[in-house]
Amino acid sequence: MEKVESNVKNLLEKIPSVNPYGEKITVVAAVKLQTTDNINKAICAGITDIGDNHVQEFRDKYADIHGNPKRHFIGHLQTNKIKYLLGKVDLYHSLDRFSLAEELSKRSAAAGVVSGALIQVNIGDEQTKSGFAYEETESAYRRIKTLPALKIKGLMAMLPDSDNEELLLTLAKKMRTLYDKLRAEDGNFEHLSMGMSGDWKICIQAGSNMVRLGTSVFGKRY
Ligand X SMILES: *Cc1c(COP(=O)(O)O)cnc(C)c1O
Amino acid at 170: T
Instruction: Report the residue number, 124 or 214, with the smaller CB distance to ligand X.
Output: 214
Residues 63 and 61: their CA atoms lie apart, in Å, by 6
Instruction: Report the residue number, 34 or 108, with the smaller CB distance to ligand X.
Output: 34
Q: Is 154 in the site for ligand X (CB under 6 A)?
A: no
Q: Backbone phi, then psi, for 139, in 5-degree steps?
A: -70, -35
Stretch that binds ligand X, among 35-43, 99-107, 121-129, 206-214 (CB under 6 A): 206-214
Residues 179 and 123: their CA atoms lie apart, in Å, by 12
Task: Please select the residue that binds ligand X; options are 110, 136, 215, 219, rule is CB under 6 A.
Answer: 215
Residues 37 and 43: their CA atoms lie apart, in Å, by 10
Beta strands in 68-208 (DSSP E): 70-73, 91-95, 115-121, 150-157, 191-194
Instruction: Report the residue number, 53 or 208, with the smaller CB distance to ligand X.
Output: 53
Q: Is 76 in the site for ligand X (CB under 6 A)?
A: no
Q: How far is the CB of 187 from ligand X (least distance, A)?
A: 26
Contact 186, 152 (CB under 8 A): yes
Angle at 77 between CA 50 and CA 65, to 5 degrees: 25
Task: Please select the residue that binds ligand X; options are 43, 74, 104, 182, rule is CB under 6 A.
Answer: 74
Contacts of 165 (CB under 8 A, 6+ apart): 202
- Report the site for ligand X in 52-71 (rule: CB under 6 A): 53
Instruction: Report the residue number, 59 or 76, with the smaller CB distance to ligand X.
Output: 76
CA distances in angstroms from 20 to 46, 62, 129, 176, listed in the order given: 23, 35, 28, 12
Task: Please select the residue that binds ligand X; options are 4, 8, 15, 30, rule is CB under 6 A.
Answer: 30
Q: How far is the CB of 216 from ligand X (least distance, A)?
A: 6
Task: Please select the residue that binds ligand X; options are 23, 32, 65, 167, rule is CB under 6 A.
Answer: 32
Q: Is 44 in the site for ligand X (CB under 6 A)?
A: no
Stretch that binds ligand X, among 41-49, 95-103, 136-144, 211-219 (CB under 6 A): 211-219
Q: Is 194 in the site for ligand X (CB under 6 A)?
A: no
Instruction: Report the residue number, 51 or 207, with the smaller CB distance to ligand X.
Output: 51
Amino acid at 78: Q
Residues 130 and 76: their CA atoms lie apart, in Å, by 8
Q: Is 140 in the site for ligand X (CB under 6 A)?
A: no
Binding interface with ligand X (CB under 6 A): 30, 32, 53, 74-75, 196-198, 212-216
